[in-house]
Amino acid sequence: MLSAASTDYYLGESVRQLGLRDASRQASDGRSSERYLSRGGISLYAEYSKDFVLIDGVKVLLDDAIGSQRGHLTVSKRDYDKVFVPLFWDLPKDPVRRILIDPGHGGKDTGKVSGAFKYTEKVATLDTAARLKILLEKQGFEVEFTRTKDVFLDLDDRAAMATSLKADLFISLHYNAGPTGDTTADGIETYCLTPAGQRSTNAGKAKSTTSAEPGNRFDTANMALAWGIQRRLVKSTGADDRGVRRARFAVLRTLSCPGVLIEGGFMSSRKEAALIADAAYRQKIAEAVAAGIVDYVVRARPAAK
């Protein structure tokens, strides 16, 4: 494939290789944007200098900002390989039977605390997990939990359970909080494991490495699963789309199956703390996560022979 620079591709040229076609191109005030459509009608929108693209309207953070050369947008090879190929071409093919749900925190680890509404993250995640289990079992999946009670569990032990229980997917449920005193930050984000050599997008909380983690065997599936869930969450709740993000979280690093970590809203936000306190909203979150998993599984199902 022709490249604009040694590590960049022309965006249009690269995505046409994945079967996308041009939808529109705009340039004004030095800000140019390009839009493409997949055969299945999924749109890709990219704008010069942004560190994300919109895929079916859902924000996916990139490792490198969108560039421009000779009047055409460019994308880095890293982002082409780890974002576009998984979402538009290289479908994960492993069947999914057993799903391990990980309600974040527990026991002495309360997670975030909502001062205004008097609940803790460990309680909200366990409740959401129970709702998700019912929905997934209705779809015919076997469901396991890392914890069913208010107990403390080591992060590494949660990931190890995916191996011991022979899980096909790992879903870690969390709720978020901003800096102390900030009641305005809100929105939903879904994390997958940072690919080897790439930047994490969680402001450097997790360790940086160029070597591959065991969980990096599932980069393609991780991205497809994260995007599928984030898409359903954002569309169903109308929450601020904070994007598909990447981090080397302990629960994701050593997984023996594809996995994601979901931050289903901010307990520190006036608006979202009240929503998360409401059982109907947690049910909505569970339904969106279940729908995103089903979307992923349908796409991942091996073709009938």
**Which positions touch Zn ion (CB under 5 A)?**
104, 111, 174
Cα 244 to Cα 237: distance, rounded to the nearest angstrom: 16
- Of 141 and 249, nearer to Zn ion (C-beta) is 249
Cα 91 to Cα 183: distance, rounded to the nearest angstrom: 40
Give min distance, CB of 297 to Zn ion, in A: 25
Give min distance, CB of 212 to Zn ion, in A: 25
What residues contact 28, with CB distance under 8 A and at least 6 apart? none
What residues contact 5, with CB distance under 8 A and at least 6 apart? 69, 74
List alpha helices for 187-278, DSSP H. Answer: 219-237, 250-253, 270-276
Give min distance, CB of 68 to Zn ion, in A: 38
- Of 90 and 157, nearer to Zn ion (C-beta) is 157
Give min distance, CB of 194 to Zn ion, in A: 18
- Of 54 and 267, nearer to Zn ion (C-beta) is 267
Cα 128 to Cα 171: distance, rounded to the nearest angstrom: 12
Residue nearest to Zn ion (CB): 174
| Other Cβ atoms within 10 Å of 79 Cβ, number | 27
- Of 111 and 258, nearer to Zn ion (C-beta) is 111
- Of 14 and 172, nearer to Zn ion (C-beta) is 172
Give CA separation, 18 vs 12, 40, 244, in Å. Answer: 10, 12, 21
- Of 174 and 248, nearer to Zn ion (C-beta) is 174
Instruction: Check if the beta carbon of residue 264 is closer than 8 Å to that of residue 285.
Output: yes
Cα 163 to Cα 28: distance, rounded to the nearest angstrom: 52
